Amino acid sequence: MKVLVATEKPFAAIAVEGIRKVVEGNGHELVLLEKYTAVEELTAAVGDVDALIVRSDKVTATLLDAASKLKIVVRAGAGYDNIDLDAATARGIIVENTPGQNSNAVAELAFGMLIMAVRNMYAGTSGSELQGKSIGIQAFGQVGRNVARIAKGFGLTVNALDPYCPDQVMEDFGVQPIHDLQKLYRENKFVSIHIPATAETRGSIGYELISLMPKDGVLINTARKEVIDESGLAQALSERSDLKYVADVRPDNAEELLEKFPTQVFFTPKKMGAQTTEANINAGIAAARQIVSYFLDGDTRFQVNK
């Protein structure tokens, strides 16, 4: 079988070597399309492949139409909002993700940005410490759990909200469950967002929630830009010069926010939460193994379009 790794934002070379070993070691062929700049390159590359590994690369119905032999797409990562699941399902194509494989990397970056925010964007003026404050984690999935683990090391009190996670799971992590979203924002100086972008969550965090945050609040977004109501965020920042918003998912109104609130916002130039050698190895090799396992005995444990 022919396996294509198509990554506009490439994996570390050592991760690609690992993927190659798994794919070729199991008798399949590996093809690479890295750092492509035009969707036409991707469309041309999928024509004769049986399996596809992507990151945040867009897998649209049009792309799938060009991939007549494609049987399985694995998103090497957690969020699969970049893949048209309905289109894949309609064409009988399996879609999988690799949950948990890059979550520590994302959680560590959340703290990198949080510390930058409480130290006044490293301006050298007197900032504040994390110890003794509280953090609210919005969604207690794999990234949220890593954030909780690291938060405890900083001496933070940890609260979390996740309607899909039983309280007991949070309590086992030493985390206080919160069931009211407004309470999460009102009672935590720091809030870290870890919800996926879905029809339900898009634009769900806006003025009403953000303006509830306590004095000197910091909102951290390593999830998806789409979950933020950007005009509501701008309004909250303009009314509350003590609030900060730091994100690894650059909003569409980034330039406007950077110009109006230069000391209150920070955005990474390109999404880099999962951009570590370790996360690339973990997610890339997991994706390769899942493909090999599917072709070997039909294993679809990680399928997300069932």
Instruction: Provide the binding-site residues for ligand 3PG, judged by CB under 6 A.
Output: 9, 55-56, 77-79, 102, 271, 273-275
132 phi and psi angles, rounded to 5 deg:
85, -5
Rounded to whole angstroms, the Cα distance separating 294 from 24 reads 15
Nearest approach, Cβ of 77 to ligand 3PG (angstroms)?
Answer: 2
**In this structure, is the dihedral angle defined by the CA atoms of residues 153, 175, 144 and 169, taken in order, positive or negative?**
positive
Q: Which is nearer to ligand 3PG, 102 or 305 (CB)?
A: 102
Reading the block at residue 179, the tokens are 């069931």
Name the residue whose CB lies closest to ligand 3PG: 77
Rounded to whole angstroms, the Cα distance separating 80 from 304 reads 9
Q: How many CB atoms neighbour CB 291 within 10 A?
A: 28
31 phi and psi angles, rounded to 5 deg:
-125, 140
Enumerate the β-bridge partners of residue 134.
Answer: 157
Nearest approach, Cβ of 187 to ligand 3PG (angstroms)?
Answer: 27
Nearest approach, Cβ of 105 to ligand 3PG (angstroms)?
Answer: 8
Q: Which is nearer to ligand 3PG, 28 or 58 (CB)?
A: 58
Pairing type for strands 157-161 and 2-7 reads: unpaired
Q: Which is nearer to ligand 3PG, 79 or 217 (CB)?
A: 79
Nearest approach, Cβ of 63 to ligand 3PG (angstroms)?
Answer: 16
Rounded to whole angstroms, the Cα distance separating 160 from 41 reads 42
Are 205 and 227 a contacting pair, CB within 8 Å?
A: yes
Q: Which is nearer to ligand 3PG, 9 or 202 (CB)?
A: 9
Q: List CB contacts of 75: < 8 A, sequence separation 6 or more.
A: 54, 55, 82, 83, 95, 96, 97, 98, 287
Q: Which is nearer to ligand 3PG, 76 or 118 (CB)?
A: 76
Q: Which is nearer to ligand 3PG, 77 or 144 (CB)?
A: 77
DSSP 3-state assignment of 14? helix
Nearest approach, Cβ of 79 to ligand 3PG (angstroms)?
Answer: 3
Nearest approach, Cβ of 177 to ligand 3PG (angstroms)?
Answer: 24
Nearest approach, Cβ of 144 to ligand 3PG (angstroms)?
Answer: 13
Nearest approach, Cβ of 55 to ligand 3PG (angstroms)?
Answer: 3
Q: Which is nearer to ligand 3PG, 33 or 78 (CB)?
A: 78
Burial 148-163 (b: 16+ CB within 10 A, else e): bebbeebebbbbbbbe
Q: Which is nearer to ligand 3PG, 257 or 287 (CB)?
A: 287
